[in-house]
Amino acid sequence: MTTTLPAYDEVVARYEPVIGLETHVELGTNTKMFCGCPTDFGGAPNTRVCPVCLGLPGSLPVANRAAVEATIRIGLALNCSIAQWCRFARKNYYYPDMPKNYQISQYDEPLCVDGYLDVEVNGEPVRISIERVHMEEDTGKTLHVGGATGRIHGATESLVDYNRAGIPLVEIVTKPIPGAGAMAPEVARAYVTELRDVLRSLGVSDVRMEEGSLRCDVNTSLNLPGEQWGTRTETKNVNSLRSVERAVRSEIIRQASVLGAGGRIIQETRHFHEDTGDTTSGRSKETATDYRYFPEPDLVPVAPDPTWVAELKAALPELPRLHRRRLQQEWGLSDLDMQSILNAGAVELIEATIAAGTTPTAARKWWLGELSRRANETGAELADIGATPKQVAELQGLVDAGKLTDKLARTVLEHVVAGEGSPAKIMVDRKLEVVSDTGALTAAVDEAIAANPAIADKVRGGKVAAAGALVGAVMKTTRGQADAKTVRELILERLGVQG
């Protein structure tokens, strides 16, 4: 590995990157693609299996209509044409986590073709062309044990869990994206982000990259201006939006380094490493694997009724980009404010918080302020931070009612995030409520005056600013739970001074 890599700015000034993305989405259907086994996560190994998804001799697949429907809806949302007749195909290769030693997929007859997805990169619209959307089945999972790395090399045995085998997958493939220049990493990220939002709005998948329900392979190549596109590499193991961007950037730099040293790019699969941000070489694709694709004879062709497709199209939800535009107007936000919400991935959270009964300003303040700060600190997604929109709305309600000061509210929020329950409950349990009982407060004020006669005299003598020290003393005895303004007014009143 080269120790001195060229600077990114220099690289993109010299080379033009071309990227392409292949995204696998696990559909959230109740049952698997070709059998009735449940798809839910987390069962003991090999408990979500039957003769079909184990590929036992004699078993036969039957296509899941819900999966076909979800795929058509994805295709429609991505502005694709829906095939009136298409077939599944067998992709033949040997691997122990593939029960039949072929994967049922689609080859030259995908269900959806020729679409596009409009995304925004730094406020500029970019149209990403979609080549195809097709259906296939997932493989099982292989666990290599006994070695140091968890990889097959050095392992003493391999265990296979077929629970995942046969989970419905949709593969979404872009056409090559040239012309993004230095923005190529951002374009890749914007595309995957927008795609994720579209899929989420369709309700077809839980689109969690960390859990693998949304998986992304990034193709990258470099060429000199005016020359043919270069050899591409395919980077796998890209498991977050941030990684998509980093993987493209890292691969652009690596390829430039190879080319700059007079080398050539090998067509290969590369693995992205979250910790280092590098890619390392995987399987070479120079000698193309012959998958011997042929139409799957165990399944009848898929021929969706055009009326059905039209119904699905009419029933598509408002897609995220239009939805966001509408929200921005409703919330009265500037482009910049809206952009910061988008960047934080907080649109839906804020929307839900407003729906739970608070104002756009307050909702935005909490999610982009305190909660975003915490998310950045812990590296968690905002949605997984531990506070729900309903809790945030409730917290703001307590502030609005004068029961919490802003400072107290932040303390309560900390406990909410720690999972201690609702803001109201935490406020009571932890005695964080603003002290509004004037009797108790007056006693505390009198005590402070009595304890600080010199300061009290100064205030009586007209040095009103000196009252700050008395306020501080009262706040100390009330453990910060009094409203400072109220305390100040009370002190001045007791000392017979006009505020």
Partner 1 sequence: MTDLTSFSAAELAGLVARGESSAVEVTQAHLDRISAVDDRVHAFLHVDTEGALAAARDVDSRRAAGEPLGPLAGVPVAVKDVLTTKGVPTTAGSKILADWRPPYDSTIVRRLRAADTVMLGKTNMDEFAMGSSTEYSAFGPTHNPWDLSRIPGGSGGGSSAALAAYETPLSIGSDTGGSIRQPGAVTGTVGVKPTYGGTSRYGLIAFSSSLDTPGPCARTVLDAALLHEAIGGHDPLDSTSIPAPVPDVVAAARLGASGDLTGVRLGVVREFAGEGAEPGVLAAFRAAVETLTKLGAEVVEVSCPHFRYALPAYYLIAPSECSSNLARFDGVRFGLRVGDDGVRSLEEVMSATREAGFGPEVKRRVMLGTYALSSGYYDAYYGQAQKVRTLISRDFATAFDQVDALISPTTPFVAFPVGARTADPYQMYLADLFTIPSNLYGGPGISVPCGLADGLPVGLQVMAPTMADDRMYRVAAALESAVGPFTPPAL
Task: List the beta bridge partners of residue 136.
Answer: 169
Compute the distance between CA of residue 391 and CA of residue 421 in angstroms, rounded to an integer. Answer: 9
Among 179, 263, 284, 294, binds partner 1 (CB under 8 A): 294
Instruction: Please select the residue that binds partner 1; options are 13, 56, 355, 418, rule is CB under 8 A.
Output: 56
Residue (47 or 81) nearer to partner 1, CB: 47
Tokens describing residue 147: 């070695």
- Using CB under 8 A as the binding rule, whether residue 290 contacts partner 1 is answered as yes
Distance CA 497, CA 499 (A): 6
User: What is the closest distance, in whole angstroms, from the C-beta atom of residue 97 to partner 1 in the complex?
Assistant: 9
Least Cα distance to 459 among 485, 410, 494 occurs for 494
Report the sign of the C-alpha dihedral through residues 327, 331, 333, 338, in that order. Answer: negative
Tell me the closest approach of the beta carbon of residue 354 to partner 1, in angstroms.
Answer: 47
Asked if 472 touches partner 1 (CB under 8 A), the answer is no
CB of 300 to partner 1, least distance (A): 5
> Is residue 85 part of the contact set for partner 1 (CB under 8 A)?
no
User: From the CB of 64, what's the least distance to partner 1, in Å?
Assistant: 11
DSSP string, 348-373: HHHHHHHHTT--HHHHHHHIIIIIHH
303 binds partner 1 (CB under 8 A): no
* Cβ(382)–Cβ(347) below 8 Å: no
Q: Residue 85 or residue 315: which is nearer to partner 1 going by CB? A: 85
User: Could you say which of 5, 160, 383, 424 contacts partner 1 (CB under 8 A)?
Assistant: 160
Is 94 a binding residue for partner 1 by CB under 8 A? The answer is yes
Does 226 contact partner 1 by CB under 8 A? no
Question: In this chain, which stretch among 55-63, 178-186, 199-207, 446-454 interacts with partner 1, using CB under 8 A?
Answer: 55-63
Chain centroid to CA 232? 27
By beta-carbon proximity to partner 1, the closer residue of 54 and 492 is 54
Rg (Cα) of the chain, in Å, rounded?
30
Position 63 contacts partner 1 (CB under 8 A): yes
CB 293, min distance to partner 1, A: 8
Asked if 30 is part of the footprint of partner 1 (rule: CB under 8 A), the reply reads: no
Options 5, 66, 79, 92; binder of partner 1; rule CB under 8 A: 92
In which residue are the tokens 């929307």 written?
Answer: 351
Cα(237)–Cα(250) distance, integer angstroms:
14
- SS3 label, residue 425: helix
**181-210: b or e for each residue (b if 16 or more CB lie within 10 Å)?**
eebbbbbbbbbbbbbbbbbbbbebbebbbe
Residue 99 makes contact with partner 1 by CB under 8 A: yes
Min dist CB 66 to partner 1, Å, is 15
If the CB atoms of residues 41 and 291 are measured against partner 1, the closer one turns out to be: 291
Q: Which pair of tokens denotes residue 401?
A: 């009612």
Should residue 299 be labelled a site residue for partner 1 when binding is judged by CB under 8 A? yes
| Residue found by looking up tokens 């890599």 in the block | 5
Quick one: 155 or 183, whose CB is closer to partner 1?
155
Q: Shortest approach of partner 1 to residue 161 CB, angstroms? A: 12
Can you tell me the distance from the alpha carbon of 496 to that of 499, in angstroms, rounded to the nearest whole number?
9
Note whether 351 and 390 are within 8 A (CB).
no
User: Please, are residues 176 and 229 in contact by the beta-carbon 8 Å criterion?
Assistant: yes
Nearest distance from C-beta of residue 60 to partner 1, angstroms: 5
Nearest C-alpha neighbor of 53 from the set 66, 38, 65: 38
Least separation in angstroms between CB 94 and partner 1: 6
* Residue 159 binding partner 1, by CB under 8 A: no
Binding segment toward partner 1, per CB under 8 A, in 52-60, 169-177, 336-344, 443-451: 52-60
Contacts of residue 143, defined as CB under 8 A and 6 or more positions apart, other chains included, come to 150, 158, 159, 160, 161
Provide the strand spans (E) within 239-343.
268-272, 279-284, 294-295
* Nearest distance in Å: CB 296, partner 1: 8
Among 42, 58, 123, 496, binds partner 1 (CB under 8 A): 58
Q: Is 146 exposed, middle or buried (0-12, 13-18, 19+ CB in 10 A)?
A: exposed
| Burial category of 212 from C-beta neighbours within 10 Å (exposed 0-12, middle 13-18, buried 19 and up) | middle
Q: Is 13 in the site for partner 1 (CB under 8 A)?
A: no
Among 123, 297, 379, 496, binds partner 1 (CB under 8 A): 297
Shortest Å, Cβ 283 to partner 1: 14
7 counts as binding partner 1 under rule CB under 8 A: no
Q: What is the DSSP letter of 465?
A: G
How many residues are recorded in the chain?
Answer: 499
Mask for 260-289, x = binds partner 1 (CB under 8 A): ----------------------------x-
What residue ranges bind partner 1 (CB under 8 A)? 51, 54-63, 90, 92, 94, 96, 99-102, 158, 160, 288, 290, 292-294, 297-300
